[in-house]
Structure 1
Amino acid sequence: MRPEILFPLFAPISSLPGLGPRLGKLAERLAGPHVVDLLWHKPSGLIDRMAVGSIAEAPDGRVVTLTVRVDGHAPPVQANRPYRIRCTDHTGMMDLVFFHVKGDWLGKKLPVGQKITVSGKAERFNGQLQIVHPDYYGPAEDSPPLAKVEPTYPLTGGLNPKPLRTAIQAALARAPDMPEWQDAAWLKRQGWPEWKSALTTLHCPETERDIDPNGPARARLAFDELLANQLALALVRWHQRRLSGREVTGDGRLRAKVAAALPYTLTGAQQRSLADIYADMGQPVRMLRLLQGDVGSGKTVVALMAMLNAVETGAQAALMAPTEILARQHADSLAPLADAAGVRLAILTGRDKGKARQAVLDRLLSGEIDILVGTHAIFQEDVAFRDLALAVIDEQHKFGVHQRLQLAAKGRGVDTLVMTATPIPRTLTLTAYGDMDVSRLDEKPPGRQPVKTLVMPAAEKLDEVVHSLPRAIRNGQRIYWVCPLVEESETVDLAAATFRHATLREFLGDRVGLVHGKMKGAEKDAVMAAFAEGQLDVLVATTVIEVGVNVPEATIMVIEHAERFGLAQLHQLRGRVGRGTGASTCLLLYERPLGETARARLETMRDTEDGFIIAEKDLELRGAGEVLGTRQSGLPEFRLADVTVHGELLAAARDDAQLIIDRDPELEKPRGQALRVLLYLFERDAAVKYLRSG
């Protein structure tokens, strides 16, 4: 249950003064559904309201606060003209200018002869001082003292600064005094304020430092958020460690057969990762390990060896992939090696129905299948193993934690190995996978060809690229042609891809295929299969081909509007070529003018193929919000912390979380009780269920 002290902060956002039902919906879209979400909506800048003694002293282009007298009203003669109010003081005249004002409302609000205080941006028009739509105006004697410095916030269409500021100040007034969850000595050493004081400084700033990410107020709040994240992960991990596992140590006979059948020896990185995995599997606690490897670094072979370790003990293993095409590809590449070792391998996807599906389920339950490869279909209730000991999950960020646990529940003390081909920067690995041990495959297997990357302007080079394709096709090469993501709009993406498909077919004939996100799975698979089998020479695609397709004969990757793609995406797409023995090329076609960030991305792609270097560069260019954003679901979104700025605080939060778990794993001592409040405050409630109630 959420602690009572937090009830005011988790009231609906629309309950705040200044919002009401209509603006409440807009505020919810901007920040979130609860009062607390407005406290996390941080200022993006400051307005410094300069108090000016007279009209003559008001500087052009600055926000000023003045006391003047209303001298006259000039309503517009035509509908689209402004409403002007002439004001004076002992030094001269100025106008207040309003557009789209109905009726005599302003006449009543600002009667002639009244002394008023007015604040807004002063500017000169035809030599005359004016303030267009002042931020504030009212009778001088009733005017509240205006804050000299005012924060500005990110807005959304239809929501003006004034009601938003009113609501944020009301949210601040509802913030209770919290029990201190930070270590007193650490707070003192950092020179940080207490929680409520930090929030007040952030939303009532007096200088730039008050809203600076490295300033004491924001740093304190960022550390709170990072600690909540790391403590939640540490609790999940501690809970996992307490669940009884089983010691799984095979005799090596099947692995020896596969090693003999491989046309190459394993890389140092593969051997190191396997040593970690075997050591984990041999422990009486459950393994939870993340295997990070760049495109083509040989993760699948590592997964097979780990699964064989389980099969050697008489148990079973499962490998799960996010899409049917990827699952079938894994099954196809593992089948010859499984045959060499005499291991029985089967596949189960959503496409399998009726008797064929039932036959697989029967063999699985009786233990006649050693390794099952599949998609989400493996989660279904009627899928039962005789003795599942290891679950391998590919492309983890496509699955949630609960799905990981669902698969592990299909056996006794199941070990879990999670794989990703999206290299994740070290800082983000901590925030997203802090509950796991991590192994990295940072070497390419021998024989993998480097991919030559060329960056060129589309306007000059597009025709040249198209005219070079027939020669490449005659040499037996196959080509991917990727069309851009346009404004996240499927229809426009589709139009771009359809147009390119039509122009290439006109020039190259009918051996040009098209895949896009609007196609049904079976249609998409059929076109991909035709390309893989060589019935098509060119595959035009939107970004649906990003993950996992393996066509060794594909040696040319053309990416149009490369400046619109993120670095991680460009790197994933480039990884589709260079998988065979032929020399491969990736052509990045861009449109001018190129922005600074886009130029840096394309230069990084040209200069390196190392996915881990690319991931760090991507974090530096885009910031964590983007890298952690919609494209990689499953990674946490931070509101106050920015891991590109607060990397050191993240490491400190991880150490602190570990210390807390070592000293008070049930969070029962006074600091532990306060930390429970912190977990609820940042909506890490799921972690609290691992504790005894208290």
Structure 2
Amino acid sequence: MSTRPDILFPLFAGLDSLDGIGPKTAAHFANIHVEKPRDLLFLLPYSGTDRRMRDTVAGVPAGEVATVTVTVKRHSPARARGRPYRVFVDDGQIEFPLVFFHANDRYLTAQLPEGARRVISGKLEWFDGTPQIVHPDHILEPDAVDGLPDYEPVYPLTAGVTQKVMARAVRHAVRLAPDLAEWIDPSLMRREGWPSWADALHQAHSPQATGDLSPETPARQRLAYDELFAHQLTLALARADQRRATGKPTVGDGTLRDKVLKSLPFAPTGAQTRAIGEITADLAAPYRMNRLLQGDVGSGKTLVALMALLTAVEAGGQGVMMAPTEILARQHLDSILPLAEAAGVVVAVLTGRDKGKERQSKLAALARGDIHILIGTHAVFQKDVEFRDLRLAIIDEQHRFGVAQRMELAAKGQGAHILVMTATPIPRSLSLAQYGDMDVSILDQKPPGRTPVKTALVSTARMEEVVAHLRGAIDGGRQAYWVCPLVEESEVMDMTAAQDRFVHLRAVFGEGVVGLVHGQMADAEKDAAMADFVAGRTKVLVATTVIEVGVNVPNASIMVIERAEHFGLAQLHQLRGRVGRGDAASTCLLMYQSPMSETGRRRLEILRETEDGFRISEEDLAMRGAGDVIGTAQSGLPRFRIADLERQANLMATAQTDARALLHTDPDLTGDRGRAARVLLWLMERDRAIKLIKVG
């Protein structure tokens, strides 16, 4: 089935095929991503209006909608420009006005002739003790009242589209929805009590009460599951496709790894041992590894990565490790080099800074196979970088690299295995949405020797105390980070800029003691400032969040984060992870400005309570939403119209299990459920996935 099935054609017609929509209105709908009838099916009402009939408006609170039968008493036209037109009506208990601004007198006289009975529905307001309805939503003759639902769904709108136009278009689109064969596992349907797809649409678009708008209702849960299942099926097909791409089985004899483990002053944690085992098994398989190594700050990812690289070297191949910045690439080099040297393995670094002869000789050594492990920035992508036998590519901090770059790097080696590492703990639901095509190893234990970091909340009013505390630490031979939210003072925001804080602290501590690093500096300047701090030449490093990921200075034991209430939880956790890397007791001071918002306070309190990055990431997701946690711009997250990743994490996990199980039993999707799943992929516009289905 490589073309869209006929049964779905009406849902993919132009929007102007629906009642009451011409080309002009269709153009307005496009502003809310509605371009065809299918899009309306997944635009669910977000609230509703109770339009049940009442005997009278007397006693109805202001702001509520009242629907009553009235007799039209008299018209009171506007006497002056800008004054309203009033029509007085009586519901049998009380007389009150209907109020119209910029009214068309002739239209109102025809709609509301004196002496006639009408059903009026609209929001009630009280003015000088008298009820009134301004611009009623509905004016109906009593025998036409059947067209008014007791509970009217309210949809998201855009300029040029009214509720009436929207409701009519949705009703028509729902009538077009065909009965489709079931793609959900029957036992799951029974367990959850979910309706069929068509019934779920009817129920979701015809709520009878406010409770029917909850994401927990069977109809909405089922529709959310359909989206998540289509997404996971797409990722499972991509994974199956990748597994068909043959990899080079890479099996080492363990000699180099043993040498490194013997040279370590501690034994790996259980989590590290488990991850190393999973990666070793993947490398030995005949298909390409595509694995995510997720570990919290300080969980020991570097050792796991090195073990994987050494397996590639033991098998006669090479490995490459790529970091998003030169600072991080050099840091990986610093931590890997002594261990690799203990095993007699040649490691080199390649960044944009390598030029001329030096670069040429590195590239020649790499092509000959004299360099076993290459560490670098995206400079390792360049066309002239050739390996003799690349077996493993490791990418650090995946969210800085796109999927396309991931593929490009793997292409450097015939079937090179891929390991992606991230120090950003991602909640399970997001990890499944973003990396569902990958297998995941999680490091959830800390190696011995990491000192816990004491976290304290301090008001900006106590700035002088903080500076005095800092002086004591520096006199004791310690170093500190001071993180600011903005680079330069801005008139709009009253947050202290890094530049200003640098000047202030330099005045306190003297020339040469304080360094500055921020994103607007040239790379060479940034590197020089970092190098001074790493070498201990400067004692305080004033920085923006550029130091968030991966920087390792064991002697730094204080982290001051100014205006901490403006940072995201995950970001604060990453920053705190820069200290506590040596043997000194470490402190993280979260400086906030009063008064703090409720969310700001909650964020800082969570951070004070726990150092568990996974718990922090779940809280962050609950407070901020999916797009913000990963960073919407490069999130790689699909746009779900119904599914809610924060509240429906368990559905995402079920969808992944179900999708992988279906492909396991029916890899070509040719069975009954498989063919139904193909229709779902077309319905959800997963064209890329359809191309991945093996034909025949």
Question: Structure 1 residues 610 and 108, CA, compared in 2 at 3 Å: closer, same or farther?
Answer: same
Moved more, 639-648 or 606-615: 639-648
Contact 1:13–1:28 (8 Å) recurs in 2: no
1:51 match: secondary structure: coil
Alignment match of 1:202 (pick from 201, 204, 209): 204
* 2:676 is aligned with 1:674: yes
* 2:65 is aligned with 1:63: yes
* 1:585 shift after superposition: 0.7
Alignment match of 1:391 (pick from 390, 393, 410): 393
CA-to-aligned-CA distance 1:597-644 (integer Å, 9 cap, x gap): 443332221122122232333344445565456277134443322344
Instruction: Give the superposed CA RMSD.
Output: 3.4
Q: Which residue of 1 aligns with 2:253?
A: 251
Contact 1:550–1:579 (8 Å) recurs in 2: yes
* 1:92 shift after superposition: 3.7
- The 5 A counterparts of 1:128-527 are 128-137=130-139, 145-154=147-156, 161-458=163-460, 460-484=461-485, 492=493, 496-510=497-511, 511-527=513-529
Provide the C-alpha distance between the structure 2 equivalents of 1:422 and 1:105, rounded to a whole number of angstroms. 66
CA-to-aligned-CA distance 1:199-256 (integer Å, 9 cap, x gap): 2211221123432222110111122122112222222222233332232222233223
CA-to-aligned-CA distance 1:402-422 (integer Å, 9 cap, x gap): 332222222233222221111
* 1:14 shift after superposition: 8.2
Segments of 5+ residues of structure 2 without an aligned counterpart are none
Provide the C-alpha distance between the structure 1 equivalents of 2:152 and 2:359, rounded to a whole number of angstroms. 65
Question: Structure 1 residues 337 and 47, CA, compared in 2 at 3 Å: closer, same or farther?
Answer: same
- The 5 A counterparts of 1:571-586 are 571-586=573-588
Q: Which residue of 2 aligns with 1:587?
A: 589
* 1:505 shift after superposition: 4.1
Contact 1:39–1:171 (8 Å) recurs in 2: yes
- The 5 A counterparts of 1:118-137 are 118-137=120-139
1:182 match: secondary structure: coil
Contact 1:398–1:634 (8 Å) recurs in 2: no
Provide the C-alpha distance between the structure 1 equivalents of 2:160 and 2:501, rounded to a whole number of angstroms. 39
Provide the C-alpha distance between the structure 2 equivalents of 1:551 and 1:109, rounded to a whole number of angstroms. 81
Question: Structure 1 residues 428 and 490, CA, compared in 2 at 3 Å: closer, same or farther?
Answer: farther
Contact 1:625–1:642 (8 Å) recurs in 2: no
Provide the C-alpha distance between the structure 2 equivalents of 1:312 and 1:571, rounded to a whole number of angstroms. 37
* 1:538 shift after superposition: 3.0
Q: Which residue of 1 aligns with 2:618?
A: 616
Provide the C-alpha distance between the structure 1 equivalents of 2:100 and 2:14, rounded to a whole number of angstroms. 34
Provide the C-alpha distance between the structure 2 equivalents of 1:304 and 1:313, rounded to a whole number of angstroms. 14
Which residue identity lines up with residue 125 of structure 1 in the other structure?
Answer: F
Contact 1:321–1:375 (8 Å) recurs in 2: yes
Contact 2:429–2:650 (8 Å) recurs in 1: no
Which residue identity lines up with residue 464 of structure 1 in the other structure?
Answer: E
Provide the C-alpha distance between the structure 2 equivalents of 1:35 and 1:499, rounded to a whole number of angstroms. 55
Contact 1:71–1:88 (8 Å) recurs in 2: no
Provide the C-alpha distance between the structure 1 equivalents of 2:49 and 2:502, rounded to a whole number of angstroms. 52
Provide the C-alpha distance between the structure 2 equivalents of 1:104 and 1:666, rounded to a whole number of angstroms. 67
Identical-residue share of aligned pairs (%)? 54
Equivalent pairs counted in the alignment come to: 689
* 1:64 shift after superposition: 1.3
Moved more, 507-516 or 316-325: 507-516
CA-to-aligned-CA distance 1:22-47 (integer Å, 9 cap, x gap): 77666545446655444333332222
Contact 1:19–1:164 (8 Å) recurs in 2: no
* 2:29 is aligned with 1:3: no
* 1:294 shift after superposition: 1.0
Which residue identity lines up with residue 198 of structure 1 in the other structure?
Answer: A
* 1:156 shift after superposition: 6.1
Provide the C-alpha distance between the structure 1 equivalents of 2:517 and 2:86, rounded to a whole number of angstroms. 59
Which residue identity lines up with residue 335 of structure 2 in the other structure?
Answer: S
Give the TM-score of the pair, scaled to structure 2.
0.88
* 1:115 shift after superposition: 5.5
Contact 1:490–1:517 (8 Å) recurs in 2: no
Which residue identity lines up with residue 297 of structure 1 in the other structure?
Answer: S
Contact 1:249–1:281 (8 Å) recurs in 2: yes
CA-to-aligned-CA distance 1:306-325 (integer Å, 9 cap, x gap): 10111122211111122332
Segments of 5+ residues of structure 1 without an aligned counterpart are none
Question: Structure 1 residues 96 and 426, CA, compared in 2 at 3 Å: closer, same or farther?
Answer: same
Provide the C-alpha distance between the structure 2 equivalents of 1:242 and 1:152, rounded to a whole number of angstroms. 48
1:199 match: secondary structure: helix
Which residue identity lines up with residue 480 of structure 2 in the other structure?
Answer: I
Which residue identity lines up with residue 348 of structure 1 in the other structure?
Answer: L
Provide the C-alpha distance between the structure 1 equivalents of 2:531 and 2:37, rounded to a whole number of angstroms. 52
Q: Which residue of 2 aligns with 1:43?
A: 45
* 1:495 shift after superposition: 6.7
Provide the C-alpha distance between the structure 2 equivalents of 1:11 and 1:248, rounded to a whole number of angstroms. 51
Provide the C-alpha distance between the structure 2 equivalents of 1:111 and 1:381, rounded to a whole number of angstroms. 78
2:147 match: secondary structure: coil
Question: Structure 1 residues 264 and 637, CA, compared in 2 at 3 Å: closer, same or farther?
Answer: farther
CA-to-aligned-CA distance 1:466-490 (integer Å, 9 cap, x gap): 343333333333322223489xx99
Provide the C-alpha distance between the structure 2 equivalents of 1:341 and 1:653, rounded to a whole number of angstroms. 44
Which residue identity lines up with residue 72 of structure 1 in the other structure?
Answer: H
Provide the C-alpha distance between the structure 1 equivalents of 2:610 and 2:126, rounded to a whole number of angstroms. 53
Which residue identity lines up with residue 419 of structure 1 in the other structure?
Answer: M
* 1:119 shift after superposition: 1.9
Provide the C-alpha distance between the structure 2 equivalents of 1:17 and 1:540, rounded to a whole number of angstroms. 62
Alignment match of 2:559 (pick from 557, 560, 580): 557
Q: Which residue of 1 aligns with 2:533?
A: 531
Contact 2:312–2:392 (8 Å) recurs in 1: yes
* 1:286 shift after superposition: 2.4
Which residue identity lines up with residue 462 of structure 2 in the other structure?
Answer: K
* 1:154 shift after superposition: 4.5
Moved more, 330-339 or 304-313: 330-339
* 2:44 is aligned with 1:75: no
Question: Structure 1 residues 7 and 480, CA, compared in 2 at 3 Å: closer, same or farther?
Answer: farther
Q: Which residue of 1 aligns with 2:663?
A: 661
Provide the C-alpha distance between the structure 2 equivalents of 1:623 and 1:173, rounded to a whole number of angstroms. 33
Contact 2:410–2:418 (8 Å) recurs in 1: yes
Question: Structure 1 residues 491 and 102, CA, compared in 2 at 3 Å: closer, same or farther?
Answer: same
Question: Structure 1 residues 529 and 164, CA, compared in 2 at 3 Å: closer, same or farther?
Answer: farther
Provide the C-alpha distance between the structure 2 equivalents of 1:203 and 1:539, rounded to a whole number of angstroms. 57
CA-to-aligned-CA distance 1:543-602 (integer Å, 9 cap, x gap): 332212222232211223323333222211111111222221111123344454443332
Question: Structure 1 residues 246 and 505, CA, compared in 2 at 3 Å: closer, same or farther?
Answer: same
Give the TM-score of the pair, scaled to structure 1.
0.88
* 1:112 shift after superposition: 5.8
* 1:279 shift after superposition: 2.3
Contact 1:70–1:111 (8 Å) recurs in 2: no
Question: Structure 1 residues 592 and 26, CA, compared in 2 at 3 Å: closer, same or farther?
Answer: farther
Provide the C-alpha distance between the structure 2 equivalents of 1:635 and 1:626, rounded to a whole number of angstroms. 11
Provide the C-alpha distance between the structure 1 equivalents of 2:186 and 2:560, rounded to a whole number of angstroms. 57
* 1:450 shift after superposition: 1.2
Moved more, 132-141 or 119-128: 132-141
